[in-house]
Structure 1
């Protein structure tokens, strides 16, 4: 069976990393898998970069430029929506022609246009589309928030300055309806939360919608001796360590305002805590926390298991999430997690069993969860439960097997 994954990138961003991990998992099952991307970051020979630098930059800028102009030259929400008006051509490539299954992932920002999606669906190839956010079943947004207009045909989009019943979101939604009707798609949500939302959209009505989580290599992400890893990283042995990690830690959607307030509340009860920050712009975060903090900067994926193992708890105060790779990685290393009850997070963190689920946008409860995990809970039990949950639910061999069944059943 020849599988072709299509993704904007192979390693840049959570969706890309999830797709890359799936490629490795499927290959371990003996399947022939290639991946097409416009932004290649790995040295993997099965990842093929399409287009060229000039074309790819033009496609990216043309889409953003049209959104910018449509929204009265406002930068607000510029990267919260996509219209897929341009992209690269893939259907004439030999990798596409030889594939039995076309498996789409996150394909925005100049990777695939709606026109090329139509060509893919009309090709007669079996198509699977893993949804890493809401864009495949909304008009233009990646996260609809409290808006439910996608459950009809969009319009009155809260991301648009000139929102109206027949605005850009409605126009693109109608285009998607026509494009999707040219073939049959198996939509795969990474969480049951996303699956339930997807089923409410008219865009998925004539297609199949299921849920399969992202995979993780549980041999790479695994428990290690905490004292040894801290010595290796030159971290204090006498402090409780709270880890926060993100590609861009200063992104408002990552919830730093709430983590900052939670640190202030925690300081009223203890000063024996160090916040460890992994990701770009970490230095900006250090000064906003009331307790001591240390930025590790960008940490390469191969080094992240040490970071997770050095921590006593991983915190994700994100305000928008589907199925965060970071929670999965931390739990695989036996590190309990604390996060808001939002998106797919409640499917990952079992409250008071593998960590703590805080009420959404409640800094007081976030602080309570961190304090409980650090000073009151049975640490060994939490750690063992977190590791067991990952092995049973997210281990790459289990996820690859689930996808193999989907490929075999696909019309």
Structure 2
């Protein structure tokens, strides 16, 4: 059985990280697996890109700009939505790439950013090969948005999209929905995998996917890399006071609309103003930050920018007393799973796929959705509870029992075997 994973890149975000982790998990189970990407950023030998010559690199850049700039200039309703919608109207034909042609199963992941157009995905479907498509967001069954917010137009057909400045019955979201409807009409053997039960439920209610097989399988994680590290050693390395209570927050882009940093700011102010025992609290933040003023936070802040080393991330999670995720829309955030794997309790909103990982007052705290007050209460609970040791053990156990390479790879292999017999 030869499987080819397909993702826009092999590093640089949640979906690339999840896809690479799956590659490693399948490799450990002796699956013949490779990954086909638009842009290769690692030295992993099983990852192949569409080419590295000047003309190919030029085409990749053109495709990205051709898809993004018209939307940014003429369609996006506001600045925060510039990357919230993908038209997928341009891409690269990869049907004749060696690892595509030789594969028994094509396994799609996140293919936006100018990699695969809807037409290109249809070309892969028309090869007749069995296809597994792991959904890292809602894009596959919407007219173009990655997360729909409160909109439910995808239940019938898209149009009048709230993200567009020229929304209407026949806007680009409607046209995108129609193109995907045409694309999926050619699908004879395709299975959709969602990383969370929340996304599975949403997908099953969508007009585009409701007739297809949909399974929920989480992303895997390397429990050797992401494991509890020695706290004092880590704090000494990163220059953190060993006596402080550390709140850790991180994201690929901390100003991403979905990450809800405004709720975190409000919650931290609530914590400072309404709770005692906060004089030793400090904040550690990692991730891309173009304009957020960390000095606006009410506690001492250590801003670490982007962290690329997994070992460094594991140290940061391990030295923290609590990891916080103020996301208001998310599937199965890698950061939460990573924190739990390192034995660090998590405070997050009760939304999306987060309840698949965080169990209220067992390994963290699930705050009432968009309630900064309850979020602050959750942080205070984790920082002051006399059950800290139990929370840490439960956090690690949740990962060991649900998200290991062994467990997740076995679930995917069972799906592969089932569709090869169709």
TM-score, with normalisation over the residues of structure 1? 0.97
In the alignment, what sits opposite 1:297? 305
In the alignment, what sits opposite 2:40? 40
Root-mean-square deviation (CA, aligned residues, Å) is: 1.5
**Structure 1 position 335 matched with structure 2 position 332:** no
Report if aligned partners of 2:254, 2:288 keep a CA contact under 8 Å in 1: yes
Report if aligned partners of 1:283, 1:295 keep a CA contact under 8 Å in 2: no
**SS of structure 1 residue aligned to 2:208:** helix
Report if aligned partners of 1:241, 1:275 keep a CA contact under 8 Å in 2: yes
TM superposition shift of 1:69:
5.5
Greater Cα offset, 14-23 or 164-173: 164-173
In the alignment, what sits opposite 1:278? 286
In the alignment, what sits opposite 1:203? 208
Q: 1:274 to 1:31 in 2, by over 3 A?
A: same
**Structure 1 position 119 matched with structure 2 position 123:** yes
**2:183 and 2:44 mapped to 1: Cα distance?**
32
How many residue pairs were aligned?
A: 411
Report if aligned partners of 1:276, 1:293 keep a CA contact under 8 Å in 2: yes
**SS of structure 1 residue aligned to 2:33:** strand
In the alignment, what sits opposite 2:254? 249
TM superposition shift of 1:233:
2.2
Give deviations 1:293-328, integer Å, cap 9, x for gaps.
Answer: 111222222311111111011000112111000000
Q: 1:282 to 1:153 in 2, by over 3 A?
A: closer
Report if aligned partners of 2:77, 2:164 keep a CA contact under 8 Å in 1: no
**SS of structure 2 residue aligned to 1:307:** helix
Greater Cα offset, 276-285 or 123-132: 276-285
**1:213 and 1:290 mapped to 2: Cα distance?**
36
Residue from 120, 130, 136 that aligns with 1:132: 136
**SS of structure 2 residue aligned to 1:165:** coil
TM superposition shift of 1:232:
2.5
In the alignment, what sits opposite 1:190? 195
TM superposition shift of 1:75:
4.9
5+ residue gaps, structure 2: none
In the alignment, what sits opposite 1:179? 183
TM superposition shift of 1:284:
3.4
Q: Structure 1 stretches (4+) deviating beyond 6 angstroms?
A: none
In the alignment, what sits opposite 2:102? 98
TM-score, with normalisation over the residues of structure 2? 0.94
Give deviations 1:105-163, integer Å, cap 9, x for gaps.
Answer: 00011110111111111111010000000000111110001000000011111111121
Q: 1:102 to 1:278 in 2, by over 3 A?
A: same
**1:312 and 1:221 mapped to 2: Cα distance?**
16
In the alignment, what sits opposite 1:239? 244
**1:283 and 1:62 mapped to 2: Cα distance?**
26
**SS of structure 2 residue aligned to 1:203:** coil
Residue from 214, 217, 223 that aligns with 2:228: 223
**1:363 and 1:75 mapped to 2: Cα distance?**
24
Greater Cα offset, 50-59 or 123-132: 50-59
**Structure 1 position 407 matched with structure 2 position 407:** no
In the alignment, what sits opposite 2:112? 108
Greater Cα offset, 263-272 or 382-391: 263-272
In the alignment, what sits opposite 1:313? 322
**2:76 and 2:108 mapped to 1: Cα distance?**
32
In the alignment, what sits opposite 1:8? 8
TM superposition shift of 1:165:
1.6
In the alignment, what sits opposite 2:146? 142
In the alignment, what sits opposite 1:260? 265
In the alignment, what sits opposite 1:151? 155
**1:282 and 1:275 mapped to 2: Cα distance?**
18
Report if aligned partners of 1:186, 1:207 keep a CA contact under 8 Å in 2: yes
Q: 1:380 to 1:154 in 2, by over 3 A?
A: same
Residue from 352, 356, 364 that aligns with 1:347: 356
**2:105 and 2:233 mapped to 1: Cα distance?**
45
**SS of structure 1 residue aligned to 2:412:** helix
Give deviations 1:45-64, integer Å, cap 9, x for gaps.
Answer: 11111152100011111112
**1:202 and 1:345 mapped to 2: Cα distance?**
25
In the alignment, what sits opposite 1:386? 395
Give deviations 1:21-52, integer Å, cap 9, x for gaps.
Answer: 00010001001111111122111111111152
**2:79 and 2:302 mapped to 1: Cα distance?**
32
Report if aligned partners of 2:80, 2:257 keep a CA contact under 8 Å in 1: no
